[in-house]
Amino acid sequence: MNLHDSLTSPVSESMNFLNEIAHRYPDAISLAAGRPFEGFFDLDDVPRYLQLHRQYLMGRHGGDETAVRRTLLQYGRTKGIIHELIAEHLRVDEGITADPEHLVVTVGCQEALYLVLRALRRTERDALLAVAPCYVGVHGAAGLVDMPVLPVAESPERGIDPADLRARLAQARAEGLTPRACYLVPDFANPSGVRLDLETRRELLELAEAEDLLLLEDNPYGLFGTPGGPPTLKALDRRARVVHLGSFAKTGLPGARVGYVLADQEVAGGVLADQLAKLKSMLTVNTSPIAQSVIGGKLLANDFSLRAANTREREVYARNLSQVLDGLRERFAGEPGIGWNTPAGGFFLLLRVPFAAGDELLERCAEEFRVLWTPVHHFYADARPRPVMRLSFSHLQPEEIDEALNRLAEFIRYCIRRID
Amino acid sequence: MNLHDSLTSPVSESMNFLNEIAHRYPDAISLAAGRPFEGFFDLDDVPRYLQLHRQYLMGRHGGDETAVRRTLLQYGRTKGIIHELIAEHLRVDEGITADPEHLVVTVGCQEALYLVLRALRRTERDALLAVAPCYVGVHGAAGLVDMPVLPVAESPERGIDPADLRARLAQARAEGLTPRACYLVPDFANPSGVRLDLETRRELLELAEAEDLLLLEDNPYGLFGTPGGPPTLKALDRRARVVHLGSFAKTGLPGARVGYVLADQEVAGGVLADQLAKLKSMLTVNTSPIAQSVIGGKLLANDFSLRAANTREREVYARNLSQVLDGLRERFAGEPGIGWNTPAGGFFLLLRVPFAAGDELLERCAEEFRVLWTPVHHFYADARPRPVMRLSFSHLQPEEIDEALNRLAEFIRYCIRRID
């Protein structure tokens, strides 16, 4: 039985390999997993959040329990039931003014991304620009709609190189392609952890306007950084150039699988959000209102501020990040060919090593040194090993980080000895 | 901004129009909505089911609460966490022997359908056969992957006309197309309510084997019929010719948005279920484990039998069905040009009238006669009015049914007078 090409793409192989190796070496410490810290997870939060949101709905519906039951348990609104709460959260935490009708609540941010790409990809000439290296799921979603992903260079300082974006746009158009949008994570990108400064954000918005380009801003990590960072692209957007993709997997609860897209662009037939909702009605019909209710309750419990709700988590991530940075300095300072960047937040950083760090070496590292990391080629959607590893630290305890870095240092010294 | 063609297809317009008209005439009684009866919905069931499933997981994990927390609240298994419970349910209620590893738990049955079509649609020559008239969501999902849907005639007695299926297969192949599968609802189809007899099921399975065709069996209504009906196609399938699509929206709880696909076909790289899971990892990552847990708890609360869990609902549906049949007989018996079928279960039946019943007449009926029904052309994915209405009765109270039929009778008589 011949199946769709996306099933044999490097991206599909990537996701498979990375999942599978973690299962094969369960006692390896993982500097690979991008999971949120689960130390504060509490099973009793789920019924508590559900109860809070139910009380809120009872108030909204003037005490009509039948209406509340129908909202939570029956088929429901395609665009979701917590859109007003999310709009309020965006106002409080991100300074974004969102009309709730321009939001579509999705099954995680991945579905939001798929819907946007499905809407935009009409013909074989439509393409997506994306900062490279980039989150694997972008290549995954683009593969489902047979949409090529054209790489834009990441600048270690600026997060995206606007000059390269301009050049890539021109090149793609010269080749007869239609770049429909550019995907990026302005705050603490996956895998690099880089955050765009304000000047770059402004330049990008101007470029988008001048070039008639849509920017897909994905924002899963924005709340996990030092305060006082620059605003999101969407908060700066005055001309509906930005589609804002959001996730509650890191700030809310991964098990709810709730994300959203804010799409206020005017299109034929109304607003882009309504067109995305039409596609969603053919894909998943609606996002489980029960799952939405869990997130709705968490928003209500925290006066709509997930920044406030994640105070402890933010401390853990900041502590882990500085522990990793200190640990790398202790072990590798001055070492030729070894270097790393210093993100101001997020879940990830990039470690440069003096050898090509591909899947084969990861395999050996997992088996003999019992530590996992992510070969960066997976974020380029190809199989060419590069001398860079992504290290993640979001879900680890301090003692695990030290032990992981010890093992990693042993492995790196072993590889360097092999080269010499 | 030019968007994907599926957004301007008749299917998309259909779904929009049907949703929108219900909102515009909120005081019309709906013989159009296919919602399950909500009279027995109880908000307290949600925490109760969650608690039951949590206790079950505690047992499975030897009391390790961290493992249970991780299962329910963290990112998780792409194929789902209630696969073993669903396999047991299929054994108890459907006589289907399923390896839990061959199941993918999805965001409702709609995502399952999308995943199967996405996997099967490789080139422009790939097509889907589907019994016509057919559930709108099939055309919707096929539209997302640019896959044409070729109609197969429905026989009022047999549910599908195997001779026509054979003819359509031959015709499609002669035209250079590759029909990858045939979609059908063997038990109480939407919109016709027809159930396939055992002989037709056997003939279909033989035909599928002889023609190397996959059958996509969608089974949302199977448990809502008189007992002692024929087994599902999957229960009769000895050669992995059937992909079985299941929904808990009608038997479990619509608000959980949980469905599944059982795909035990051998393909390159393993079993079809694993390939569908790869696609799912790029689409929605995984189905909310909290939403799954609600359904898991309902399965546990009912010893895995949703037939048993739905005893009261089945009585309501049977009562409503016979009330509609009695009501039609009282109002239209012997009336020239008016007729209807007599399903043995399900949510729907078809009413034939002596005039083309399209969207314009529905609009007038909603406005002046305050009753809604569904023009059958929506199930053919075109805009050509036909003299048939789908009547649904799943969610109504007895007094609503009588009043709805009164209004419908007035409307039909009004239309007939207009013709004369």
Q: Is B313 left (phi over 0), alpha (psi -120 to 50) or beta?
A: alpha
Structure tokens belonging to residue B329 = 């007989």
Backbone angles phi, psi at B385, to 5 degrees: -60, 140
Q: Which residues of A touch B42 (CB under 8 A)?
A: 69
Per-residue model confidence (pLDDT) at position A350: 98
Residue B262, token pair as written in the block: 């059982």
**How is residue A110 written in tokens?**
């991945």
List the structure tokens of A125.
């000439």
- Closest to A195 in 3D by CA, of A222, A163, A164: A222
Q: Is A389 helix (H, G, I), strand (E, B) or coil?
A: strand
Q: Which fold has domain A47-307?
A: Aspartate Aminotransferase; domain 2 (3.40.640)
Short-list B12, B67, B27, B76, CA closest to B370: B27
Q: Does A161 touch chain B (CB under 8 A)?
A: no
Q: Which H helix or E strand runs over A374?
A: strand A374-375
How high is the mean pLDDT in each 10-residue block of chain A (420 residues)? 90 82 92 94 98 98 96 95 98 97 98 98 97 95 97 92 97 98 97 96 98 97 90 98 98 98 95 97 97 98 97 97 98 96 96 97 97 96 94 96 98 92
In A, residues 215-254, which contact B (CB 8 Å cutoff)?
A: 249, 253-254
Interchain pair A3, B38: CB under 8 A: no
Other C-beta atoms closer than 10 Å to the C-beta of A140 total 25
A291 touches chain B (CB under 8 A): yes
pLDDT at A391: 98
To the nearest whole Å, the CA of A40 is away from the closest chain B CA by 10
Q: How far is A56 from chain B (nearest CA, A)?
A: 14
Phi and psi for A153 in degrees, rounded to 5? -65, 140
| A131 touches A181 (CB < 8 A) | no
C-alpha of B257 from chain center: 13
Q: Does B119 touch chain A (CB under 8 A)?
A: yes
Q: Cα separation of B373 and B393, whole Å? A: 10
Min CA distance, A86 vs chain B (Å)?
19
A288-329: pLDDT as tens digits: 999 999 999 999 999 999 999 999 999 999 999 999 999 999
| Closest listed residue to residue A261, CA positions, set A248, B111, A251 | A248
B33 to chain A, closest Cα gap in Å? 10
pLDDT at A18: 83
Take residue A119 and report the two structure tokens written for it: 């809407």
Quick one: closest CA in B to A81, which residue? B255
Give the span between the Cα atoms of A385 and A356, in whole angstroms.
Answer: 5
Block mean pLDDT (10 aa), chain B, length 420: 90 82 92 94 97 98 96 95 98 97 98 98 97 95 97 92 97 98 97 96 98 97 90 98 98 98 95 97 97 98 97 97 98 96 96 97 97 96 94 96 98 92
3-state class of B165 per DSSP?
helix
Using one digit for the tens of pLDDT, what is the confidence trace for A182-211?
Answer: 999 999 999 999 999 999 999 999 999 999
**Element (DSSP H or E) covering residue B274:** helix B272-283
DSSP string of B337-362? T-EE---SBSSEEEEE-SS---HHHH
Rounded Cα–Cα distance for residues B14 and B375 (Å): 10
Whether residue B213 lies within 8 A of chain A, CB to CB, comes out as no
A288 touches chain B (CB under 8 A): yes
The Cα-based distances of B74 to A310, B70, B89, B258 in angstroms read 16, 5, 26, 18
DSSP-derived 3-state class of residue B130? strand
B15 touches chain A (CB under 8 A): yes
**Does the beta-carbon distance from A290 to B46 stay under 8 Å?**
yes
Rounded CA separation B307/A184 (Å):
49
CA distance B108 to chain A (A): 6
From chain B, the residues in CB contact with A141 under 8 A are: 282-283
A4, B284: Cβ pair inside 8 Å? Answer: no
Q: Are A195 and A188 in contact (CB under 8 A)?
A: yes
- DSSP E strand stretches across B80-148: 103-106, 126-132
Q: Which two tokens stand for residue B110?
A: 């709609």
Map out the domains of chain B as residue ranges. 5-40+310-419, 47-307
Burial of B156 from C-beta contacts in 10 A (0-12 / 13-18 / 19+):
exposed
Buried b / exposed e along A378-417 (16+ C-beta atoms within 10 A): bbbbeeebbebbbbbbbbbeeebbbebbebbbbbbeebbe
| Residue for token pair 């073993």 | B84
* Euclidean distance between CA atoms B329 and B340, whole angstroms: 9
Q: Do A46 and B50 touch (CB under 8 A)?
A: yes
Let me know how long chain A is: 420
Looking at the structure, give the CATH architecture of the domain made up of residues B5-40+310-419: Alpha-Beta Complex (3.90)
What per-residue confidence (pLDDT) applies to A221?
96
User: Do A70 and B110 make contact, defined as CB atoms within 8 angstroms?
Assistant: no
Q: Does B284 touch chain A (CB under 8 A)?
A: yes
Phi-psi region at B99: left, alpha or beta (left = phi > 0; alpha = psi -120 to 50): beta
Three-state SS string over A213-255 comes to: CEEEEECCCCCCECCCCCCCHHHHCCCCCEEEEEECCCCCCHH
Q: How many CB pairs under 8 A join A and B?
A: 229
Is B111 within 8 Å of A284 when comparing Cβ atoms?
A: yes
As beta bridge partners, residue B104 has B261
DSSP A36: P
